[in-house]
Chains A and B, each alone.
Chain A
Amino acid sequence: MKEIVIISGKGGTGKTSIVASFAALAKNAVLADCDVDAADLHLVLRPDIKRTSDFSGGKQASIVAEKCIGCGKCKDLCKFDAINLDGVANELIAKTYRVDPISCEGCKVCVEFCPVDAIKFEDSINGQWFISDTRFGMMVHAKLGIAEENSGKLVSLIRREAKRIAEEEKKDLIIVDGSPGIGCPVIASITGADLVLIITEPTLSGKHDLERVAELAAGFKIPTLIAINKFDLNPDMAEQIEEDARKRNMKVVGKIRYDRAFTDAQIMKCSVVEYTGDGVTEDIKSLWSNVIYAL
């Protein structure tokens, strides 16, 4: 079984549209949407959800107002500015504190050092994850709660589940839609993968962000391929990206022309290769066969 992860560094280069097309071309893969921050793949794959589970990425502190003596030790120790003054507790206690759940990182320091054990520490529900059926096979995806953290843990969970399903259903491929950036969710989505495909665009920003994410992938020693979306927007820049890739020993395995079909397919809730048989679909098919060849 092989696992391929599609990332981009820069956002909005067309990752999800390309992953959806790959899903259609692969037919027999397990799909995983690891862009848990802003998941979009489900809009095109229209999954039929079979199982929903809560995701807890950690614990969270909360102060029991009746027990708080207002000493402020928790506020002094908190490194995340997560403890704020609250109102009067009773005629004896003039001030109490409360935890801002958005800022709390669940470190437990306040709980440990509260002199009157007034702080609860309970599992926080940070989101939900789903196992679904799609017209192209099983899909694992998630919805991170609003303003939640621990997206790296959720990404690892989704990949683990996708792997389990692939083993059970005897699928030989997992296609992972990653998130933009180079931080914790991206690291969690590429660690231990068989192949990384970076989707970039021929812009200075795309090129700059590609360099940083390619360095990240190289640091993890994962074989990496590159595809340039909308290459005809600036053919000179596309050529420069190819040359830079060669210097890094990374190969540009596909160039996809700029086509409104990317947007139109989204509106029709289908992948680009289902929407049109035009040149842009040929570009994606050729990219896909190069990726499979490299695996």
Chain B
Amino acid sequence: MKIAIASGKGGTGKTTIATNLAHTIAQMDKQVQYLDCDVEEPNGHIFLKPEIKETKTVTVDVPEVDLEKCIGCGKCGQLCQYSAIVHLKDNNVLTFEQLCHSCGGCLHVCPADAIKLKQLNIGEIELGKTGDIDFVHGKLRIGYVRTVSLIRQVKQHIAQDSLAIIDVPPGTSCPVVEAVKDVDFVLLVTEPTPFGLNDLKLAVGLVREMNLPFEVIINRHGIGDDQVEKYCKTENIKIALKFPDDRRVAESYSTGQMIVDVLPEYKKLFDDFAQKVL
């Protein structure tokens, strides 16, 4: 079972919900895995404080041209849709690794076998343990743009026999699509504000387009207005959880503490929620 915790808008509480849920489920003696797919700005480790046992470098294939073999036909540059390989003149070919999508087109189209693949380091994956939680996160190398490739690699670590909780990056474009692809259920975390509602609508559009079952979590319930609830009602969307606005929650968050550990009154709320999820 794979559950993705997503949101259109950033900073609505995805990581708070995901980490506290993982922690609560682990305390119920269930196998649980937490995977942080927000590889541009991963934060789950701040709260779960895992002991990292293994670090893997993640690479992608990018082309390298053997100019000795190149016959200057220019087919590679004509095929590449990303301007990542450019044929200048004679047999001079330039490559731009940062623009490459690793589609393999240039390699296949080259009639002279002049293109080889080399590895480009785009980030790392760290694997560890927090109590009984199996922890996995990806960290994109700064200045690199292969967010989607790294997310795909993080998801390769999903264990079949365990409940996987996937922390999804904010937004509604390609990194989100990659992170929620093939999950069994999506929880969309929002806040009851106009920005929260606008971005929730975008996120709902995305999960519907991908035919994924989902429910909504309203975080900081009480700060704004009732428009999110009205919208969910009109659209027949189930609200899985309403989490109250509480300055103490914000303060414990600021120092990297888990809500269920420092504010016991919320433990039951997460216990009930975890039961529902299981």
Contacts and interface: CB of A to CB of B under 8 A. Distances in A.
Interface band, chain A: 35 or more
A63 B175 CA distance: 25
A203 B255 CA distance: 6
B206 A147 contact: yes
Contacts of A113: 108
A213 B81 CA distance: 29
A242 interface: no
B103 A233 contact: no
A152 interface: yes
Interface stretch (A103-111, A158-166, A277-285): A103-111
Contact of B224 (A59, A152, A182, A266): A266
Nearest to B43: A205
A13 B195 CA distance: 12
Interface in B146-204: 147, 169-177, 181, 193-195, 198-199, 202
Interface residues of B, number: 55
Contacts of A146: 172, 202, 205-206, 209
Contact of A147 (B101, B109, B172, B199): B172
A181 interface: yes
A267 interface: yes
B193 A183 contact: no
Contact of A43 (B147, B198, B205): B198
Contact of A10 (B10, B142, B147, B206): B10
Contact of A37 (B140, B171, B223): B171
B145 interface: yes
A22 B199 CA distance: 22
Interface in A187-239: 187, 201-206, 208-209, 212-213, 215-216, 219, 233-234, 237
Interface string B231-260: 000000000000000010011011110000
Given A79-B103, A105-B103, 16 more contacts: A10-B10, A10-B43, A12-B11, A38-B171, A79-B102, A102-B177, A109-B79, A109-B105, A146-B209, A180-B10, A181-B169, A203-B255, A203-B256, A208-B41, A208-B43, A213-B41
